[in-house]
């Protein structure tokens, strides 16, 4: 049985029946809320309705909110069921959420268009984008700048190789399989292979009790640097695409300008945050409102995300990540004691991320056009891209200089792309070049396959390698 408790099974069946009832009249074209119609071409169209003084029974007026409410119910149910299945199979929850999204999006292939709105709804898209911003904010909160600066030479070399090698391998694979696409499309595909999912690898290392091994320190240190370098790569490529779309000619000097802006933003925000976040949190202790720590944290997160995208010309997630870096726990201890009972920012935003982050992964999965894999060349593209993603991270193991550290274990720990690769692909799908998406449906599907496979193979490979080393236990820092 999927569910151990009859109550959970009953609740799911009732919700499913409710969904069937809503779409029963016309599965391919359902009215949701009275003034938003999903047409046969799955495009949202606004329908004018005559105003009336009568209030519908129950005080509800329909409207877009009814569509959003139903979609949130569907997405959260799918995410939690998918996450449960993934955990039972000893896989990360994010993988289950992504696969459930693919399953929902694929229903249209069988004539069931109940979930098509997940692919096109502007409201759900906004919620998923907020989820991504908070996810990167959370990653930033868990990243310590001092530790990142003191990871050592090996971790730095591993990180640099882990960005440069996969980037060019991905670029080459894209050039071979989609030669008619613009060079910037090939470059963007390469960028999706650069980052490493810190969360997935850290979870596995904790589960096997090797989080303190020297190999683990290098993996996690390099993975964090990978994320920073990957975000900078994303900023550069996105900036070049924006410049081309604006009608300007691409100049190599523009790359250095964008890199300079990214470095200046990241460095400036960290320095400014180091000196300003403490006094800001101290001043907040004099306010009498409730929920101050959470509110101020979100103001910093969304504020820097806005500045990054609207003013600095970078991706919003760069600003969110930077916001997490500058909010060091030592700066808000007094406010946390007064306002939140000693809770950390990570603990306060956990309920919000639990709502919004799964929406992102389910929606990304739903937008995968499974039909493109009927084309053998696209399937080949996905498999070769995955192979290069794995090989690229194994080459970075050559950066390990210490003789008592196992380079193979380090390389295997750098494999998963997880949420970061998916975020990059999602941003690429939203960018246009010459009126066409930078990441089209076929390329997006190939990247998602790469993310799924690299995420699935990492846990067993890490466990296997550390098991091989069990005879000569990996060195642990005293």
* DSSP codes, 293-361: HHHHHHHHHHHHHHIIIIIS-S-HHHHHHHHHHH--GGGSHHHHHHHSTT--HHHHHHHHHHHHHHHHH
Domains of the chain with CATH codes = 6-45+61-117 (no CATH), 125-469 (1.20.1530.20)
**The pair of three-digit structure tokens given for residue 63, joined into one six-digit string:** 């409207």
**pLDDT tops 60 at residue 5:** no
Query: pLDDT, tens digit, for every residue of 436-456?
Result: 889 988 899 899 889 888 888
What pLDDT is attached to residue 60? 52
- Count the neighbouring beta carbons within 10 Å of the beta carbon of residue 92: 23
Rounded distance between C-alpha atoms, residue 373 and residue 43, angstroms:
24
Task: Give bridge partners of residue 380 from the DSSP assignment.
Answer: none
Question: Length of the chain in residues, anyone?
Answer: 478
Angle value at C-alpha 307, between 304 and 311, nearest 5 degrees: 165
pLDDT at 151: 63
The gap from C-alpha 252 to its chain's centroid, in whole angstroms, comes to 29
Contact between residue 159 and residue 225 where contact means Cβ atoms under 8 Å apart: yes
Q: How many other CB atoms sit within 10 Å of the CB of residue 197?
A: 27
Higher pLDDT, 373 or 40: 373
3-state secondary structure 97-127: HHHHHHHHHHHHHHCCCCCCHHHHCHHHHHH
Nearest-angstrom CA–CA distance, 13 and 35: 28
- Angle of helix 345-366 relative to helix 292-306, nearest 10 degrees, comes to 50
**Residue 250 pLDDT:** 63
Pull the structure tokens for residue 1.
């049985």
Q: What share of the chain is helix, strand, coil (3-state, %, to 5)?
A: 70, 5, 25
* Mean per-residue pLDDT of the chain: 79
**Per-residue pLDDT for 174 more than 90?**
yes
User: What average pLDDT does this structure show over 364-383?
Assistant: 86
Give dist(CA 191, CA 180) in Å, integer. 19
Gap between the terminal Cα atoms of the chain: 46
Q: Would you state the pLDDT for residue 297? A: 93
**Are 231 and 429 contacting, i.e. CB atoms less than 8 angstroms apart?**
no
- Kindly state the DSSP code that residue 476 receives in the 8-state scheme: B
pLDDT band (50, 70, 90) for residue 12? very low
Q: How far is CA 39 from CA 45, 321, 371, in A?
A: 7, 38, 21
User: Degrees (nearest 5) of the Cα angle 463, 468, 470?
Assistant: 90
DSSP state of 375: S
Tokens 């081309």 correspond to 244
Query: How is residue 3 annotated by DSSP?
Result: -
pLDDT of residue 96 exceeding 70, the answer is yes
Distance CA 344, CA 125 (A): 29
Is there a contact between 187 and 165 (Cβ–Cβ < 8 Å)?
Answer: no
Model pLDDT for residues 280-339, shown as the tens digit of each residue: 888 888 888 888 899 999 999 999 999 988 887 777 888 888 898 888 877 788 888 887
φ, ψ of residue 85 to 5 degrees: the values are -65, -45
Handedness of CA 317, 360, 245, 302 (dihedral sign): negative
Contact between 74 and 112 (Cβ < 8 Å)? no
Q: Using alpha carbons, list the distances in angstroms from residue 110 to 9, 27, 107, 330, 375.
A: 25, 12, 5, 55, 18
**How many Å apart are CA 329 and CA 198, to the nearest integer?**
20
For 202-255, what is each residue's pLDDT tens digit?
777 877 777 778 888 888 888 878 878 888 888 888 888 887 887 766 666 777
- Give the pLDDT confidence score for residue 249 in this predicted structure: 65
Q: How far is CA 259 from CA 62, 263, 359, 432, 459, in A?
A: 47, 6, 31, 21, 34
Q: Is the pLDDT score of 390 beyond 80?
A: yes
Q: Residue 36: what pLDDT? A: 34
């Amino acid at each position: 049985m999927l569910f151990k408790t009859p109550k959970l099974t009953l609740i799911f069946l009732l919700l499913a029946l409710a969904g069937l009832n809503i779409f029963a009249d016309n599965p391919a074209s359902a009215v949701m809320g009275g003034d938003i119609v999903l047409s046969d071409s799955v495009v949202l169209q606004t329908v004018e309705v005559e105003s009336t003084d009568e209030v519908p029974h129950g005080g509800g007026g329909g409207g877009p909110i009814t569509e959003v409410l139903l979609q949130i119910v569907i997405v959260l149910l799918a995410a939690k069921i998918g996450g449960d299945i993934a955990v039972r199979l000893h896989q990360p929850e994010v993988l289950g959420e992504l696969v459930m999204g693919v399953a929902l999006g694929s229903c249209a292939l069988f004539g069931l268009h109940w979930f098509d709105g997940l692919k096109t709804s502007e409201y759900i898209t906004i919620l998923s984008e907020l989820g991504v911003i908070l996810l990167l904010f959370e990653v930033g909160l868990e990243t310590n700048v001092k530790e990142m600066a003191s990871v050592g030479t090996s971790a730095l070399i591993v990180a640099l190789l882990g960005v440069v090698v996969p980037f060019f391998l991905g670029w080459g694979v894209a050039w071979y399989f989609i030669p008619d696409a613009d060079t910037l499309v090939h470059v963007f595909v390469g960028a999706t292979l650069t980052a490493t999912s810190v969360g997935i690898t850290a979870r596995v290392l904790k589960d096997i009790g090797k989080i303190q091994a020297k190999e683990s320190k290098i993996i996690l240190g390099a993975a964090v640097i990978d994320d920073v370098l990957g975000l900078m790569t994303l900023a550069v490529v996105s900036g070049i695409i924006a410049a081309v779309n604006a009608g300007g000619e691409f100049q190599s000097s523009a790359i250095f300008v964008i890199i300079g802006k990214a470095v200046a933003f990241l460095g400036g925000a960290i320095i400014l945050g180091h000196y300003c976040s403490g006094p800001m949190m101290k001043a907040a202790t004099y306010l009498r409102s409730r929920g101050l720590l959470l509110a101020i944290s979100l103001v910093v997160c969304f504020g820097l995300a806005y500045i990054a995208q609207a003013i600095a010309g970078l991706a919003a997630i760069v600003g969110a990540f930077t916001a997490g870096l500058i909010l060091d726990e030592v700066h808000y201890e007094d406010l946390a004691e007064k306002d939140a009972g000693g809770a950390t920012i990570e603990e306060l935003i956990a309920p919000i991320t639990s709502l919004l982050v799964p929406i992102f992964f389910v929606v990304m999965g739903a937008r995968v056009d499974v039909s493109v894999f009927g084309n053998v060349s696209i399937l080949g593209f996905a498999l070769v891209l995955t192979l290069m993603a794995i090989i690229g991270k194994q080459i970075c193991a050559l950066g390990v200089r210490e003789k008592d550290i196992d380079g193979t274990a380090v390389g295997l720990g750098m494999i998963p792309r997880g949420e970061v690769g998916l975020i990059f692909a999602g941003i690429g799908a939203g960018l246009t070049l010459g009126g066409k998406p930078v990441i089209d449906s076929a390329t997006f599907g190939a990247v998602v396959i790469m993310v799924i496979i690299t995420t699935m193979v990492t846990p067993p490979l890490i466990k296997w390698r550390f098991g091989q080393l069990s005879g000569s236990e990996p060195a642990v820092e005293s």
